[in-house]
Amino acid sequence: MRRYIYINGKKSVEIEYSGDKVENVYLDGIKYHFENDGTDKLRFAQESKRKKYSDFLNNQFENLIILSGAGTSVGIGDDISENGSLVSRKGKLLSDLWDDVETSLTKSFFHRFCELVLYTDKDKGEYVKNLEKILSLANIGKDYLKQEKIASKDVIDIGETIIAIEKIIVKNCTLKLPSNSPHNIFIEKITKRKVTLPRVKIFTLNYDTLFEQAGRKKNFTIIDGFSFSHPRTFSGRNFDLDIVARNSSRVKEEDNFVQKVFHLYKPHGSVDWEKDGNDIVQKDNVSVPLMIFPKNSKYESSYEQPYFEMMSRFQQNLRNENVLLICIGFKFNDKHIVTSIIESLEQNPSFQLMIVNRSIDDSSENFKPFFEASKNHNNIFLISELFEDFATYFPDLKSYNQEDTKKIILNLNNNRDGN
């Protein structure tokens, strides 16, 4: 079996398996001949891939945009306090949350719910774990689908069950950043750039606050659409702000811009957003988080505030000149996001796209157009890499140091000029 781990036009890295062992490595379509039979071929292929994308990322891009999907949260999370005790909680894929729903609601109840909302997708007699589809069907049918009482079983209330499932999603997306999280090193690296360039913009489709926690831990200023006063209230105008140091002794414009600043956008909402009358506020321990839950109507929901502001900014930024968009852990299942990316590929001649996922999956119908295009166009990069490894091997631009102060050592014990 032969598969790609890197594609960029005519440049590529492929590995060919014989069982579980890597038998051959192909660089730019040509089989590589190893002089030593004992060479670790998988390691060689990984190093070749990382050198290719690191060389490219060593360039400075005027506009750097990150689109973060579930792959940047899966498996990440520290122990969290719950009901007076510590429990292990790490980010999960939506398919994995199906098991949590079955456990919480009981498998019997949840399967009755599947039948009631006419969810019939099965594989080998078992339900396909597609929470997004079942929530879509439930939201469509909640106003007219009813269940008659069956023997001693309680009648299922679709609306209440939807709320219960959404609470399970919120609970599992309330994560604590571990000290070794790749978010820490990643934001340090991507923000090392000339401060006169536009700030790095991170668009995360995840509900959790891992990027916010990493930013606070590293003493970054995060421009996220919320006011710097309390209560933190949302306004799209806050994205137009920047942070400068007003110091009359500085004559260079570049010196006035403060380092360690990035923009953060959450087009699907967040576990710490809440409606407060006509305002949208950010705070801890919200009762009803403001989130677009997985369902087929999320495209329409993106036209409501604050989501509309986030999507407008995403589209606007993709139309700028000299743009690099890095998509990490995003499966291209969100129609409104994918449409914006395709438009930029077709209309913006200076737009470049890098897609980083666990694997290069050419079987997905949503992803297949990007897979085919990447083999013919130099402005599309496909990389098989975990977020943790991508953060590690992302080049560290030493020329743009973000240290707040430089250590100065004066040795006062040595005489100067013999005095």
Q: What is the pLDDT of residues 342-371, one digit of tens each?
A: 999 999 999 999 999 999 987 888 899 999
- How confident is the model at residue 325, as a pLDDT? 98
Q: How far apart are CA 359 and CA 145, in angstroms?
A: 40
- How confident is the model at residue 147, as a pLDDT? 63
- How confident is the model at residue 298, as a pLDDT? 64
pLDDT, mean of residues 131-143: 90
Q: How confident is the model at residue 405 (pLDDT cuts 50, 70, 90)?
A: very low
Portion of the chain with pLDDT greater than 70, in percent: 90
What kind of fold does domain 59-75+178-393 have according to CATH? Rossmann fold (3.40.50)
Nearest to 360 by CA among 54, 12, 65, 67: 12
Region of poorest pLDDT, from 43-47, 273-277, 365-369: 365-369
Q: How confident is the model at residue 407 (pLDDT cuts 50, 70, 90)?
A: very low
- How confident is the model at residue 98, as a pLDDT? 94
- How confident is the model at residue 103, as a pLDDT? 93
By the 8 A CB rule, do 260 and 239 touch? no
pLDDT at 377 over 80: yes
Q: Regarding beta strands 323-328 and 351-357, do their DSSP bridges make them parallel or antiparallel, or are they unpaired? A: parallel
How many CB atoms are located within 10 Å of the residue 335 CB? Answer: 13
pLDDT at 408 over 70: no
Strand order in the sheet with 221-223: 30-31, 21-27, 11-18, 2-8, 380-384, 351-357, 323-328, 63-68, 201-204, 261-265, 221-223
Q: How confident is the model at residue 36 (pLDDT cuts 50, 70, 90)?
A: confident
Quote the mean pLDDT of the chain. 89
pLDDT, mean of residues 232-261: 78
- How confident is the model at residue 406, as a pLDDT? 46
Q: How confident is the model at residue 384 (pLDDT cuts 50, 70, 90)?
A: very high
pLDDT, mean of residues 93-119: 92
**Cβ neighbours for 236, distance < 8 A, ≥ 6 positions apart:** 225, 306, 309, 312, 313
pLDDT at 314 over 60: yes
- How confident is the model at residue 416, as a pLDDT? 46
Q: How far apart are CA 325 and CA 91, in angstroms?
A: 24
Domain boundaries, the chain: 1-53, 59-75+178-393, 92-172
Region of poorest pLDDT, from 142-151, 317-326, 381-390: 142-151
Helices within 191-325 (DSSP H only): 210-217, 253-256, 298-301, 307-318
- How confident is the model at residue 250, as a pLDDT? 56
- How confident is the model at residue 418, as a pLDDT? 47
pLDDT, mean of residues 41-55: 96
